[in-house]
């Protein structure tokens, strides 16, 4: 074949190749545009809580772009939103199966996405499949071992299953403690730990353990009325809820509650909640434990509830004024 003939053939092949490439690119571009169109519609349906319509649009998105991981993930979230915990119908089981299928595909496409891993863990958690849920929640810690929020998520997961299970309680507590260790100067970690104890089966000892962490929070936030209120409520609960303990022990806790609530008032006289708890403390505990001072405690209770109503009314008026100012600005 002559050099001229070869050149002509190569030119023709190149032209044909360019046509194929252009046609393929055009098809790809159109598919992506269609995928984006359906994805946008799906997201709006999802935001509006119209999950069945969202599912149709996410599935159409994936027809045009099977590699769109976010569409796969939110397809799973849509099925998960329709799933009802504890309902054993065939339709509900199918919702769970399809949610897991979509999340698994998304996870295979993007194995380092914390959001997708959480979705898988959460779905297995809803199905009460503890081993699988635990596996995915722990993966989140492996991905981001220095993220404090992740330890809280895993701790809350263990707490849901702990009840009287000592091993799971220990795991939950270790997660709260690891969060504290990561940022010991952050008062929120101590608040989480205190709340954890207060949500266990109530005993005097559990409330005392919780109060250890409320006090640590106060050490970090000595001028926080909210921190003092939390301790005051804890000590009130310790005194009121356990009628079987000796009166002297209950009175000690009640007086600690009184001191904490009064400190909260002192720090923020316009904070309504401490007044409400002071009223309850005087009437439900101190008036009973100190019968010789019952009249005085009832008077204090009345005064505290009046202050509560006054401060709450002022707070509501302030909020209303702020909202009106926002409308005119």
Rounded mean pLDDT, 136-156: 90
Rounded mean pLDDT, 243-258: 95
Rounded mean pLDDT, 181-193: 93
Q: Give buried/exposed letters for 157-168 (b at 16+ CB in 10 A, else e).
A: bbbebbeeeeeb
Residue 3 covered by a domain: no
Residue 125 covered by a domain: yes
CATH number at residue 106: 1.25.40.10
pLDDT at 74 over 60: yes
Residue 270 covered by a domain: no
Residue 200 covered by a domain: no
Residue 42 covered by a domain: yes
Q: Which of 37-41, 220-224, 245-249 has the lowest mean pLDDT?
A: 37-41
Q: What number of other Cβ atoms are within 10 A of residue 266's Cβ? A: 11
pLDDT at 15 over 80: no
d(CA 46, CA 37): 14
Domain residue limits at 99: 28-143
pTM: 0.74
d(CA 258, CA 282): 9
Q: Which of 210-214, 222-226, 269-273, 313-317 has the lowest mean pLDDT?
A: 313-317
In tens, the pLDDT along 90-107 reads 999 999 999 999 999 999
Residue 173 covered by a domain: no
Helix 51-64 to helix 69-82 angle, to the nearest 10 degrees?
160
Residue 55 covered by a domain: yes
pLDDT at 195 over 90: yes
The closest of 44, 76, 39 to 57, measured between CA atoms, is: 39
Residue 313 half-sphere exposure toward CB, CA atoms < 13 A:
6
The structural domain count of the chain equals 1
Quote the mean pLDDT of the chain.
88
The count of residues in the chain is: 329
């Amino acid at each position: 074949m002559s050099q001229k003939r070869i050149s002509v053939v190569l030119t023709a092949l190149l032209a044909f190749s360019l046509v194929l490439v252009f046609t393929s690119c055009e098809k790809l571009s159109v598919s992506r545009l269609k995928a984006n169109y359906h994805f946008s519609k799906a997201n709006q349906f999802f935001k509006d809580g119209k999950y069945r319509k969202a599912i149709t649009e996410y599935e159409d998105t994936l027809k045009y772009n099977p590699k769109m991981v976010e569409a796969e993930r939110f397809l799973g979230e849509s099925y998960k939103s329709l799933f009802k915990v504890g309902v054993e119908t065939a339709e509900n089981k199918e919702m769970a199966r399809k949610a897991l299928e979509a999340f698994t595909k998304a996870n295979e496409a993007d194995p380092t996405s914390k959001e997708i891993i959480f979705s898988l863990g959460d779905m297995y958690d809803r199905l009460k499949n503890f081993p699988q849920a635990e596996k995915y929640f722990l993966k989140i810690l492996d991905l981001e071992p220095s993220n404090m929020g992740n330890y809280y998520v895993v701790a809350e997961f263990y707490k849901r299953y702990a009840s009287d299970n000592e091993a799971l309680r220990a795991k939950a507590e270790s997660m709260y403690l690891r969060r504290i260790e990561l940022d010991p100067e952050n008062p929120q970690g101590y608040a989480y730990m205190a709340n954890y104890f207060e949500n266990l089966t109530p005993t005097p000892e559990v409330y005392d353990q919780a109060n250890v962490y409320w006090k640590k929070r106060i050490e970090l936030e000595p001028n926080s009325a909210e921190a003092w209120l939390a301790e005051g409520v804890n000590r009130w609960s310790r005194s009121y809820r356990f009628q079987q303990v000796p009166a002297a022990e209950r009175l000690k806790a009640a007086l600690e509650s009184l001191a904490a609530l009064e400190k909260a008032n002192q720090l923020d006289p316009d904070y309504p909640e401490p007044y409400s708890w002071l009223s309850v403390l005087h009437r439900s505990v101190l008036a009973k434990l100190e019968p010789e001072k019952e009249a005085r405690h009832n008077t204090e209770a009345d005064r505290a509830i009046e202050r509560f109503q006054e401060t709450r009314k002022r707070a509501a008026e302030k909020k209303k004024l702020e909202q009106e100012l926002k409308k005119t600005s």
